[in-house]
Homo-oligomer: A and B are copies of this chain.
């Protein structure tokens, strides 16, 4: 099999490394409109060759879209326009608008929407690494709208990446992703802004940063190219979660302001229940 990966950043690059190493594909063609990313991926051996989108699609049996979701929404219908038997999938963090963009496309059955729930706060081909996806969940959305070949090929792809499949409709996916992924990023971005804001007046504030702060704010290193479009495409869900989040912060604020020990303790004890789902 020849596989094309469009977007040679953290996700596309990491997939390329393991798909090649684990024998899923004979050859990987890379496509990236960022020349530096393309050349880095080629020279690092992450892909076998760099091609234009047109040539890559024509030569491949499988095409993986690993670009920011705003670009993916525009590009997916154009790619389906060009395919014959090729199977197409993606790795984007929101799914509803992507599925909507090809709802009535004559080649809709060639496409299967996938969201591998893996990543780091780093980006670009420099961040690509083996094993990124191992043991994590991959969400397949609206699989009934994809053909048998798309289902089996994409399933095998993510089996090779050692991912555990979960089926969900696109709207459900976007809602859940807002809760377990998107709000974590908002929370970190806002925390970074809060502390940086204070730092303007206080030189040595970071002398005090210990393990707790580091891990809570880690996601604030994430790239705006990836996250701005995610928040925009999932605006309704993300706004709802931010509102719930602010509600709980206000609860803490009031309890602390009123020195209401029982209330503070009860909020912390309730939040401790998260232990049962964390490793």
User: Interface on A for B, CB 8 Å cutoff?
Assistant: 117-121, 136-137, 139, 166, 175-177, 179-181, 183-198, 202, 204-224, 227-228, 231-232, 235, 238-239, 241-246, 248-253, 256-257, 259, 261, 264-265, 267-275, 277-279
Q: Is the CB of B118 within 8 A of A211?
A: yes
Q: Which of B205, B222, B270 interacts with A196 by CB under 8 Å?
A: B270
Known A231-B256, A235-B256; contact A213-B193, beta-carbon cutoff 8 A: no
Say what secondary structure dominates the interface of chain A: helix
Contacts A137-B208, A223-B268 known; list 12 others, CB within 8 Å: A119-B210, A166-B207, A181-B210, A186-B252, A190-B252, A193-B267, A196-B270, A198-B241, A224-B269, A231-B252, A246-B253, A249-B249
Is the Cβ of A242 less than 8 Å from the Cβ of B248? Answer: no
- What are 25 contact pairs spanning A and B, CB under 8 A? A117-B210, A118-B210, A136-B210, A137-B208, A139-B208, A166-B208, A176-B202, A176-B205, A179-B205, A181-B208, A181-B213, A185-B212, A186-B252, A187-B249, A189-B267, A192-B273, A196-B271, A209-B277, A212-B219, A216-B219, A224-B272, A231-B264, A232-B261, A242-B256, A243-B253
